[in-house]
Amino acid sequence: MRIVRLTGRCKSVWLKCTLLFLAGLAPALHAQETGNRVALIIGNDAYPISPLKNAVNDARAMDKALKSAGFQTVTLENARKADMDRAIGEFLDKLGPDETALFFFAGHGVQIENENFLVPVDFPSVATISAAKFACMSVARIFDELKRKRAKRNIVILDACRSNPVAAKYSLEAGLADPQDAPKESFIAFSTGPGQTAADNPNGRNSWFTEALADYISQSALTVEMNEVFTRVKKRVSEATEGRQTPWTTSSLTSRFYFQVPATGEPDSDSTMAEKWMEDARIREQHGEWADAIELVSQVVQRKPGGALETLAKWKLPYLTARKSAQARLEAGDYAAAANFYEQALKSDPFAVDAALQGADSYLLQDHLPEAVVLLRAIRVRGTSEAVQTADQMLKQLAAVSPEAAKEVQSGAPQPPPIEEVFSGTHFGVPDWAAGKRHFEATPIDITRWTKELKMEVPMPTLIVSIATPPPAVAETAVQAPAEVAPADHADDAQVAAQVAAVNNAIFHLEVVPTEDTRNLRLRSDAPAEFGYVQFDGPAAQTPVLFAGRQVVLPNKLKLPAGKYEVRTVDEGKVVSRQDLEVKPLSTQTIKVKRP
Amino acid sequence: MRTLALTLLLAACATAANWTDRKEYDLVLNIRAEPSPQKKLGLLDQWKSQYPTSEFQQVRLELYLAAYQALGDGPHTLSVAGEMLAARPDSLVGAYWFTLLLPEEKAPSAEQLGMGEKAGSRLLADPKPAGGVEPMAHRTLGWIHWQRSEYPQAEEEFQKCLQLDPTAAEIAAWLGTVLATEQQPDKRVPALWQLARASAYQNSGALPDGMRRQYDAVLERLYTSYHGDNGGLDQLRSAAAAAPFPPAGFDIESVAAVALRKQDEELSRTNPQLAAWVRLRQKLEAPDGDKYFAETLHNSPLPKLKGTLIKSDPPGKPNELTIGVIAPAQAEIVLKLATEFPNDADAGTVLEFEGTVDSFVKSPFGLTVVSDASKISGWPAPPPPPPPKAVRKSTHK
């Protein structure tokens, strides 16, 4: 009596296609480098109304990052409409079917009637929405041109979602609209979601979005697929803005794209790719596509992703190899060899219930009933409820001719194995040191919230000569009125008092004293003061100077309200000379400093 | 391929653990076979909801942790690691992931910090910690102390971390930030060094470019504030890129030190006497000024100085003169004379003097010098004696 289960396999067209795609993945990575990478980058800051601070910096950062990723770049800063038209035309001329086209714009953008427009720096003051449309660059138009060029892939990145005067002027919706009618094979990224506005990062050199994007693109070791790059950008921007801004992407790309392609042309440090291969291998395994599953798992092993994934791949490979051999022998009618390979597969994975069933079939085809019963018993222990039912049915049929089967049937339902046996061969938990290290290195923690408040102010000693005063931030000391004279530094009153005392006590110093007329004039006048300058010159020009009871910083000139003054030279506490000084508006008087 | 840790864990929890029923086993088999972490999470949720009191809860947590970790989902991985530690405080897996991920928590609770401290200590207590675990544990312990504003302890942990892994530029950044936060004069230069290290180091273990630029901006701001300008900053960057710690004796001149140096240079050129006195006074007013006085200055001759008389005692025949050197009205030196002057001098009289240093009071500053009238110049001569009375001649004719 022979009990044979059907083992035939049907390979669907879909599977074939998928297989071809998977098998072709690595070559595709090489192939993507056959075409050029071309980028047009525009950064607009200099808007007459609501100028931006970072857009030009963003363009420069992207230029540098994209060059590091092999792009030929053209970068425009503060582009007028005509500049943008011309540059886009030239950009399009460079595109062919093998090219990867990337368009980046940082500046003001606006949605008008659900259509996106990029604002040039010479946006005129127009009265109507229609006129505004013509004054801006239409994103739809760029899409149309890209469609016409049929580049291999189009990447459009718009960091143009800041709140802006154009939108306010025409009471338009904030942010950009969900892009319509994008070309095939395109990837579109906005610095924030459609209809939302993004921050310009006023305290930084770049917008949050571009800073993160340029950073990730330029990391040569970050050989991850573009989607993964943007996933990281989204995470970083969202964290940096405390959830207020999350970049948005949409894609119709049918091929993977890597900003940074590894030297081998294959993402061997890309654990995401390895995971994908493992998942694909599992699908192949479920469909009995052993050779393809082996190839995929072998790729994972070769790429050494580390951690649990690598361990799983190494563990899986002998099992798959045994299954492939068993299948080949079974189809060749060599049941003994097939059974042997199924046993090998089961040694690699005792929970491979279908291998046990196939092995049992192989033994039954040779009339080796005791061996078949052993495998069926194993299924009753380790299999799922469904598999156990199948094994039970087979054993019941065999019981008539096999005492071993009869005995097994009589023994009742066995208990499942302990959980440690279920997970033997699976490297989970651990700690997975390699995964931890990867995470550690890939996720440096942003501590800006601590560093932004850091100060390192050094208390200034009380000096007896002014040369030791720290250089001021401005080249001249503005003096609005005697009572408002800027002190030597942003020191507190006590420090100022100490400095003045030091100067007062200095052996040699100057004092500038307004004459009574000038003081009275200043007190009476409500009109804005007119100013002139005093230049102190001579070998002792670094002599400390007091004005209106305070020491003033004198790298260059002393700015004084127009009027009459007396300059007193003081030595050892005594006034040794006096000079009259008349400060006229916008004039510079020179005082020679001489030691007595 | 069973790991020792897993074996121990399973052995520990499987001694009395049983399947609730065969369906639970089926579910776990499905979880085992599922390679997609996302789908595995769905199956785990199913297991959890259908078998909330399963005897395999610790294993389930490990499976959750592995799935979240595979997805790169730090917050959930941390949460599960916390659950593992709550259930089993000695869990190596829980301790590892909790220690690794806690610093990513933006607003950690006191409870989390306490749990992290125990987890980090648990890892360090392991007799054979795996490579990389020790610096990671010190990293997190330092971070915990930092969150608690326990800066010296944080500093100590980060130092240990950097000694074990000198390439950890992130730790250099943290150490630099903590040192700068402490606002202590002796920690400013080490802080600048570490921030320079974080921004300039570019080999294995370096921070991403964007972050390096951020730290460089912080460095430049602090350096300029400390030094007065950015002179020497490039040299600092180069030096810090090459070594995790500054060499012995390394220093950066502060803006105050620059000011004092320039003052000294100017005074040395224009008024060497005053320059010498300012230097002397700075040494006496330094924290170890008393020691300097006792070991170097006491009973030594004071170089010749010029000062302004503030007062003289006793009136008429003064033998104790109070002098201001830097400022005419600020008493600094008391001259005690072996022999008194025969007459008074006006306050404000400029004197040149020398003598032997006798005693010193730090605050208010005062130096007592034994001198003698013969060693003081500038004292006014005594008024001439009154002319003798004219004798009227009588003529007797």
Of B126, B192, B138, the residue nearest B164 (C-alpha): B138
Residue A164's pLDDT is 64
Q: Where are the domains of chain B?
A: 4-181, 287-376
The DSSP bridge partners found for residue A103 are A40, A156
Which homologous superfamily is B4-181 in?
A: Tetratricopeptide repeat domain (1.25.40.10)
Count CB atoms within 10 A of the CB of residue A37: 22
Torsion angle defined by CA atoms of residues A438, A440, A442 and A444, in that order, rounded to the nearest 10 degrees: -170
Q: What percent of chain B has pLDDT over 90?
A: 59
Element spanning A65, H or E: helix A55-68
Q: Do A416 and B225 touch (CB under 8 A)?
A: no
Q: Which of B98, B105, B262 to mutate to test the interface with A (most CBs of A within 10 A)?
A: B262
| A447 in any annotated domain | no
Is residue A79 within 8 Å of residue A227, measured between CB atoms? no
Q: What residue type is B236 in one-letter code?
A: L
Distance between CA atoms of A464 and A467, rounded to whole angstroms?
9
Partner residue facing B208 (CB), from A439, A444, A450: A444
Distance between CA atoms of B46 and A67, rounded to whole angstroms?
48
Q: Is the pLDDT of residue A432 over 70?
A: no
Of A303, A308, A315, A306, the residue nearest A277 (C-alpha): A303
Spatial strand order of the sheet with A153-159 comes to A72-77, A37-43, A100-106, A153-159, A186-190, A248-251
- For the stretch A20-42, pLDDT in tens is 333 333 333 333 445 789 999 99
Q: Is the pLDDT of residue B119 over 60?
A: yes
Q: Bigger pLDDT: B270 or A478?
A: B270
Q: Which residue of B has its CA nearest to A285?
A: B33
- Quickly list DSSP for A278-319: HHHHHHHHHTT-HHHHHHHHHHHHHH---HHHHHHHHHHHHH
Partner residue facing B170 (CB), from A212, A418, A444: A444
Its pTM stands at: 0.56
Smallest Cα distance from A61 to chain B, Å: 10
Is residue B153 within 8 Å of residue B145, measured between CB atoms? yes
CB contacts under 8 A, A 190-209 vs B, are: 205
What average pLDDT does the segment B52-75 reach?
86
Claim to verify: residue A312 and residue A344 sit in the same structural domain? yes
Q: What residue type is A50 in one-letter code?
A: S
Is residue A284 within 8 Å of residue A19, measured between CB atoms? yes
Distance between CA atoms of A383 and B32, rounded to whole angstroms?
12
Q: DSSP assignment, residue B19?
A: -
Q: Do B6 and A460 touch (CB under 8 A)?
A: no
Q: Do B225 and A455 touch (CB under 8 A)?
A: yes
Looking up residue A152, the CATH number of its domain turns out to be 3.40.50.1460
Confirm or reject contact between A50 and chain B (CB < 8 A).
no
pLDDT-based confidence at residue A171 (cuts at 50, 70, 90): low
| A67 in any annotated domain | yes
Partner residue facing B211 (CB), from A418, A419, A444: A444
What average pLDDT does the segment A95-122 reach?
87
> Which span out of A271-280, A324-333, A451-460, A541-550 was modeled with the highest average pLDDT?
A324-333
Residue B232's pLDDT is 93
Q: Do A425 and B180 touch (CB under 8 A)?
A: no
Residue A507's pLDDT is 55
Residue A548's pLDDT is 57
Partner residue facing B10 (CB), from A413, A420, A465: A420
Range of the domain at A342: 271-422
Q: Bigger pLDDT: A569 or B86?
A: B86
Q: DSSP assignment, residue A482?
A: G
Domain boundary among A188, A223, A251: A251
Who contacts A579 (Cβ-Cβ below 8 Å, separation ≥6)? A566, A567, A569, A591
Q: Which residues of A touch B328 (CB under 8 A)?
A: 505, 572-573
Residue B36's pLDDT is 73
Q: Bigger pLDDT: A446 or A519?
A: A446
Confirm or reject contact between A315 and chain B (CB < 8 A).
yes
Q: Which residue of A has its CA nearest to B23?
A: A385
Who contacts B2 (Cβ-Cβ below 8 Å, separation ≥6)? A420, A424, A425
Confirm or reject contact between A279 and chain B (CB < 8 A).
yes
Q: Which of A368-372, B66-70, B350-354 has the lowest mean pLDDT?
A: B66-70
Q: Is the pLDDT of residue A181 over 80?
A: no
Q: Which residues of B touch A443 (CB under 8 A)?
A: 74, 104
Looking up residue A378, the CATH number of its domain turns out to be 1.25.40
Confirm or reject contact between A368 and chain B (CB < 8 A).
no
Q: Bigger pLDDT: A560 or B354?
A: B354
Is residue A76 within 8 Å of residue A66, measured between CB atoms? no
What average pLDDT does the segment A239-265 reach?
77
pLDDT-based confidence at residue B2 (cuts at 50, 70, 90): very low
What average pLDDT does the segment A403-421 reach?
89
Q: Which residue of A has its CA nearest to B185?
A: A458
What average pLDDT does the segment B29-53 reach?
89
Structure tokens at B274: 């005053």
Q: Which of A78-82, A302-306, B169-173, B363-367 has the lowest mean pLDDT?
A: A302-306
Claim to verify: residue A236 and residue A308 sit in the same structural domain? no
Q: Which residue of A has its CA nearest to B146?
A: A450
Q: Is the pLDDT of residue A445 over 50?
A: yes
SS3 A39: strand
Residue A465's pLDDT is 57
| A431 in any annotated domain | no
pLDDT-based confidence at residue A438 (cuts at 50, 70, 90): low
Q: DSSP assignment, residue A371?
A: H
pLDDT-based confidence at residue A421 (cuts at 50, 70, 90): confident
| A158 in any annotated domain | yes
Count CB atoms within 10 A of the CB of residue B131: 10
Distance between CA atoms of A498 and A426, rounded to whole angstroms?
74
Distance between CA atoms of A510 and A569, rounded to whole angstroms?
5
Q: Residue A446, exposed/middle/buried by CB under 10 A (0-12, 13-18, 19+)?
A: middle
What average pLDDT does the segment B59-65 reach?
91
Confirm or reject contact between A473 and chain B (CB < 8 A).
no
Q: What are phi and psi of B168, to 5 degrees?
A: -75, 90
Q: Is the pLDDT of residue B293 over 80?
A: yes
SS3 B369: strand
Torsion angle defined by CA atoms of residues A362, A363, A364 and A370, in that order, rounded to the nearest 10 degrees: -160
Distance between CA atoms of A65 and A62, rounded to whole angstroms?
5
Residue B225's pLDDT is 93
Claim to verify: residue A85 and residue A194 sit in the same structural domain? yes
Q: Which residues of B touch A282 (CB under 8 A)?
A: 33, 35
What average pLDDT does the segment B214-229 reach?
93
What average pLDDT does the segment A429-444 reach?
66
Partner residue facing A468 (CB), from B209, B222, B260: B260
Domain boundary among A366, A389, A422: A422
Q: Do B35 and A447 touch (CB under 8 A)?
A: no
Q: What angle do CA B79, B83, B87 make, to 5 degrees?
A: 170
Residue B330's pLDDT is 84
Q: Which residues of B touch A276 (CB under 8 A)?
A: none
Who contacts B128 (Cβ-Cβ below 8 Å, separation ≥6)? none
Q: Bigger pLDDT: A217 or A528?
A: A217
Smallest Cα distance from A72 to chain B, Å: 21
Structurally, how many domains does chain A consist of? Answer: 3
Q: Which residue of B has its CA nearest to A505?
A: B327
The DSSP bridge partners found for residue A258 are A225
Q: Do B3 and A501 touch (CB under 8 A)?
A: no
Distance between CA atoms of A442 and A589, rounded to whole angstroms?
62
Q: Which of A103-112, B29-38, B58-67 has the lowest mean pLDDT?
A: B29-38
Confirm or reject contact between A435 and chain B (CB < 8 A).
yes
**B287-376 has which fold?**
OB fold (Dihydrolipoamide Acetyltransferase, E2P) (2.40.50)
Q: Bigger pLDDT: A95 or A266?
A: A95
Is residue B219 within 8 Å of residue B193, measured between CB atoms? no
| A298 in any annotated domain | yes
Q: What angle do CA A137, A143, A144 make, to 5 degrees?
A: 100
Q: Which residue of B has its CA nearest to A544?
A: B263
Claim to verify: residue A298 and residue A388 sit in the same structural domain? yes
Q: Which of A320-334, A489-503, B110-124 has the lowest mean pLDDT?
A: A489-503
Q: DSSP assignment, residue A435?
A: H
Residue B397's pLDDT is 45
Q: Which residues of A touch B66 (CB under 8 A)?
A: 308, 428-429, 432
- For the stretch A263-293, pLDDT in tens is 544 443 455 667 777 877 887 888 888 998 9
pLDDT-based confidence at residue A509 (cuts at 50, 70, 90): confident
Structure tokens at B344: 């008074």
Q: Is the pLDDT of residue A524 over 50?
A: no
Q: DSSP assignment, residue A467?
A: G
Partner residue facing A424 (CB), from B2, B177, B267: B2
Q: Is the pLDDT of residue B114 over 70?
A: yes
pLDDT-based confidence at residue A252 (cuts at 50, 70, 90): confident
What average pLDDT does the segment A431-456 reach?
76
Partner residue facing B222 (CB), from A351, A447, A456: A456
What average pLDDT does the segment B161-185 reach?
94
Q: Which residues of B touch A441 (CB under 8 A)?
A: 205
Structure tokens at A125: 């003051």
Q: Do A433 and B3 touch (CB under 8 A)?
A: no
Partner residue facing B259 (CB), from A205, A425, A468: A468
Of A247, A135, A138, the residue nearest A193 (C-alpha): A247
Q: Which of A67-76, A549-558, B38-47 has the lowest mean pLDDT?
A: A549-558
Claim to verify: residue A168 and residue A98 sit in the same structural domain? yes
Q: What residue type is A392 in one-letter code?
A: D
Residue B8's pLDDT is 41
Q: Which of B10, B57, B133 to mutate to test the interface with A (most CBs of A within 10 A)?
A: B10
Partner residue facing A467 (CB), from B214, B266, B308: B266
Claim to verify: residue A418 and residue A472 sit in the same structural domain? no
Q: Which residue of B has its CA nearest to A204?
A: B214
Q: What percent of chain A has pLDDT over 70?
A: 71
Q: Do B211 and A504 touch (CB under 8 A)?
A: no
Q: Is the pLDDT of residue B389 over 80?
A: no
Partner residue facing A428 (CB), from B28, B66, B96: B66
Q: Do A507 and B69 touch (CB under 8 A)?
A: no
Claim to verify: residue A199 and residue A312 sit in the same structural domain? no
Q: DSSP assignment, residue A150?
A: T
Q: Which residues of A touch B274 (CB under 8 A)?
A: 464, 507
Confirm or reject contact between A351 and chain B (CB < 8 A).
yes
Residue B222's pLDDT is 96
Claim to verify: residue A122 and residue A88 sit in the same structural domain? yes
Q: DSSP assignment, residue A198?
A: B
Smallest Cα distance from A384 to chain B, Å: 5
Who contacts A115 (Cβ-Cβ below 8 Å, separation ≥6)? A133, A138, A139, A140, A177, A180
What average pLDDT does the segment A372-398 reach?
93
Confirm or reject contact between A445 and chain B (CB < 8 A).
yes
Q: What are phi and psi of A505, to 5 degrees?
A: -85, -10
First vs last Cα of chain B: how many Å apart?
151
Is residue A190 within 8 Å of residue A139, measured between CB atoms? no
- Average pLDDT over all residues of chain A: 76
Residue A466's pLDDT is 46
- Quickly list DSSP for B127-195: SSPPTTHHHHHHHHHHHHHHHTT-HHHHHHHHHHHHHH-TT-HHHHHHHHHHHHHHT-GGGHHHHHHHH
Q: Which residues of A touch B100 (CB under 8 A)?
A: 436, 439-440
Q: Do A385 and B23 touch (CB under 8 A)?
A: yes
